[in-house]
Structure 1
Amino acid sequence: MKLKLVIVTVLALLWSSLSSAEVFYKAVQGDKTLWIMGTVHAAKGDGFALSEHAQDALAQSDVIWMEVAPEKLKNAQAAFMAHAMRSEGTLEENVDRETWQAFTQVAQQYGIPEQNLNPLNAWFAQIVLVATAINQAGYVQEAGVESKIEQFAEANNLPIKGLETVERQIDALVQAQSDVGEQEIIEQTLTEIDKVNEVLDEIIASWQQGDLAVLGKYLNDSMPDQMAEELLYKRNREWIAKLATDNQSDIAFIAVGAGHLVGDEGVLTLLEQKGYDVNPVNP
C-alpha cells in the first residue's frame, strides 16, 4: 500500500477523533435532513474548533452517526491485536535479511524495539510504524474533529450511533491487503516512511481548504481497485443502507472520514442516487 494510503488508512481506521468543519455538506430529501462532515482524524497542537455552521447543525440534530460509536472503541486495541498477531512463525522469517535489518533500524529510530514487531503480521507492523511517525510529527487524535463532536454531544445529551463495528473496520483492512506479500509491504514502508510529515501536511491543508478533489487523489486516483473496494466503496454502500433502515430521525449529523465522501462511489454521490439534494455548506 502506498504510504499516502497507509497514512489515510491510519487516520481513518485507527484514530477516532475530529477536526473543524470545512468539508461539510447538507443533504435533504423531503422531511429528512442529513448534515455530513468529512473528517480528518488528527491534527497538530490544539487542532481545530468546530465552525459555527457545524455547531448549529449539531444543535438541530436528533442523533449523531460516526463510523464507530465511541463506547465501542474502548476495546479496539484488543480487537486489532487479535488479528495483528501471527498465528505461527515471525515476521523476520518472511522477509529477506537486508530488508528486515533496514526495517528494524528505522523502527528503532521511532522508539519501536525489534521484539515488538516480530510477532506481528506485516500489514500491522506497517501501521504501528506509520502511526508512531504520525504521532511524533505532532499530530494527535485529541486535536481532531471527532473528539470535538463527542464533547458537544456529551454536553448536549446527543446520542452517538455507529455505522459499523471495529471488527468490520479490521476486516476491511485485512481484505484490502490480502493479495500483497509481506516483503512488498515492508519494502514500501522503507521507501516512503521519511515522507510522513510532507504527506500529512498536504492532507491536512487540503482538508482545511475543503478541497475534496485533492483529498480524492490520495485515495481514488492511486488506490488499486480491490483496495478501494474494501477500504472505501463497500463500506460506503453499507453505511447508506444502514442509514436507510436504522436512522429514524428527521435531522441527523454524520461524521465520517473525508475520503469516504469523494468520487462516483462516495457517500455524497450515493445519497444523490437515493434522491437526496446534496450541497456544500459554505463556511
Structure 2
Amino acid sequence: MRMRPRPDSSPLRAALAYGQALVLGVAFFVAIRPLPVATASAQVAELGLTLDTTTAEAAVETARTAPLAHSLLWKITRPDIAHASYLYGTVHIIPVSRFKVPGRLLEALEQTDRIVFEFNMGDEDFSLNAGREMRLEPGTTLPDLYSDEQFGALAARVQEDYGFDLALVGTMKPFYLIPLLGRNLIGEPVTSYERYLFDYANEHGVAIGGLEDVQRQFAVVNAIPLAEQADMLAELIEEPDEAKAMFRNMYDAYDEQDLARIHTFFLESPEMKKYHDLLLVNRNHAWIPAIAKHHEEGRSFIACGAGHFAGEDGLIRLLRDAGFTVVPE
C-alpha cells in the first residue's frame, strides 16, 4: 500500500500527546501477546464514540482567553460531603530532571483513601486487553501500510537513529510505536507521575481506581484510520525535530503549571482538533459522574492528564458546574 500525501499541518503532536497515556501503561505492565483483535468499527460503535469537529475552534479560543490559576493540584469539595478530594494534573512521560514531588502533593496523598487514574492501572485484565488491542488484525503487518521502498527507508532510519529493528514490532499498530520511539528523543532518562503514584499506592496500601474502562481509550486509537497512523509514524521517523520541540514546549508549560497553555498547545494540532470531542470533550463529561462517585465513596486523589483541566469543557469548569467547589492548592 502506498502512502497518501502527507497533510500540510502535522498530526504528530496529537499522537505523541495522547499516545503517551496508553503506551505508558503498556510499557510498565504488558508483555505483548499474539492475540486476535476485534474490528475497530465494531468497537467504536459499541462504545458509542463519534467524531465531531464542531467544538474544537471554540475550545481553542476559550483556552486562550479564560484565566486559570497556575496549579497542578486542586482541592475539590461538595457541600453535602464533609471530606475533600484532590485533582492532580499529570504529564504521562517526563524527563527525570524535570520530575518533582512537592510537599503539598505528599500532604494531599497522606489524606487520600484511593488514587484514581484515567483507567485502573491495577486491573488484572489490563495486560490482556492491551496485548490484544495494540496489535494489528491478523493478516496485516506494519510493512503492508507502506510501499516496499518507504518501509525499507523507514526501517533503515530507525536502525540508524535508535539501534532498533522496526521489523521486530511489525504486528503493532503504528500509533503505539510513536510514543515508544518519541520518548527516545527526549535525550535523557524518563519517568512518570502515574508510575510514582501507582508505586505509592502499592507501598502505602492505598486503593486504586479508574475514571473509565481502558477499552474506551483503546477504542479512541482504533477510530484513527491505519493510514493516518502510518503517516504519523513515518513523520516521526523522518522529521524528529518537530517531536523534540513539542516535548520541550510541553515540559516548559508543565513546569510553569500553566493549564490553559497546555490545553491550547494540544488543540493547536489540526489532527487533535479533528478528534477533539473524542479525545477530550466526551471523556471529560463522562468523567464528572465518575469523579463524583469516587468522592462520595471516600477521600480520592484523581490523577489525569493536565490537558483535561482547562477550557469550557475542562474538568475544573465541569466540576464547578456540577456543584463542586474547586480551588488551587
Superposition TM-score tier, normalisation by shorter sequence: 0.7 to 0.9
Q: In structure 2, what residue type is equivalent to 1:6?
A: A
1:11 aligns with 2:58: no
Q: Select 2:179's aligned residue among 123, 130, 155.
A: 130
Partner of 1:106: 157
Contact 1:103/1:186 (CA < 8 Å) preserved in 2? no
Contact 1:134/1:196 (CA < 8 Å) preserved in 2? no
* TM-score between both structures, scaled by the size of structure 2: 0.72
Partner of 2:200: 152
Q: Select 1:2's aligned residue among 11, 21, 24.
A: 11
Q: In structure 2, what residue type is equivalent to 1:119?
A: T
Unmatched 5+ stretches in structure 2: 1-9, 28-69
Q: Select 2:142's aligned residue among 70, 75, 91.
A: 91
1:44 aligns with 2:53: no
Identity over aligned pairs, percent: 22
Q: 2: distance between equivalents of 1:203 and 1:22?
A: 15
Q: Tell me how far 1:277 sits from its aligned partner.
A: 2.1
Q: 1: distance between equivalents of 2:241 and 2:268?
A: 22
1:279 aligns with 2:327: yes
Pair 34,247 (structure 1): closer, same or farther in 2 beyond 3 Å: closer
Partner of 2:85: 34
User: What secondary structure, in the 3-state scheme, does the structure 2 residue paired with 1:85 have?
Assistant: coil
Pair 182,6 (structure 1): closer, same or farther in 2 beyond 3 Å: closer
Pair 71,130 (structure 1): closer, same or farther in 2 beyond 3 Å: closer
Contact 1:65/1:161 (CA < 8 Å) preserved in 2? yes
Q: Select 1:201's aligned residue among 248, 252, 277.
A: 248
Q: In structure 1, what residue type is equivalent to 2:168?
A: N
Q: Select 2:258's aligned residue among 206, 211, 214.
A: 211
Unmatched 5+ stretches in structure 1: none
Encode CA deviations 1:149-170: one digit per residue, 9 max, x unaligned: 2343334322121122332221
More displaced 10-residue stretch of structure 1: 160-169 or 188-197: 188-197
Q: How many residues align?
A: 272
Contact 2:145/2:227 (CA < 8 Å) preserved in 1? no
User: What secondary structure, in the 3-state scheme, does the structure 1 residue paired with 2:19 have?
Assistant: helix
User: What secondary structure, in the 3-state scheme, does the structure 2 residue paired with 1:205 have?
Assistant: helix
Q: Tell me how far 1:87 sits from its aligned partner.
A: 2.5
Contact 1:22/1:207 (CA < 8 Å) preserved in 2? no
Q: In structure 1, what residue type is equivalent to 2:179?
A: V
Q: Tell me how far 1:274 sits from its aligned partner.
A: 0.4
Pair 168,74 (structure 1): closer, same or farther in 2 beyond 3 Å: same
Contact 2:71/2:259 (CA < 8 Å) preserved in 1? no
* TM-score between both structures, scaled by the size of structure 1: 0.82
Q: 2: distance between equivalents of 1:228 and 1:73?
A: 30
1:56 aligns with 2:107: yes
User: What secondary structure, in the 3-state scheme, does the structure 1 residue paired with 2:291 have?
Assistant: helix
Contact 2:175/2:230 (CA < 8 Å) preserved in 1? no
Partner of 2:129: 79
Q: In structure 2, what residue type is equivalent to 1:53?
A: R
Q: Select 1:65's aligned residue among 104, 112, 116.
A: 116
User: What secondary structure, in the 3-state scheme, does the structure 1 residue paired with 2:174 have?
Assistant: helix
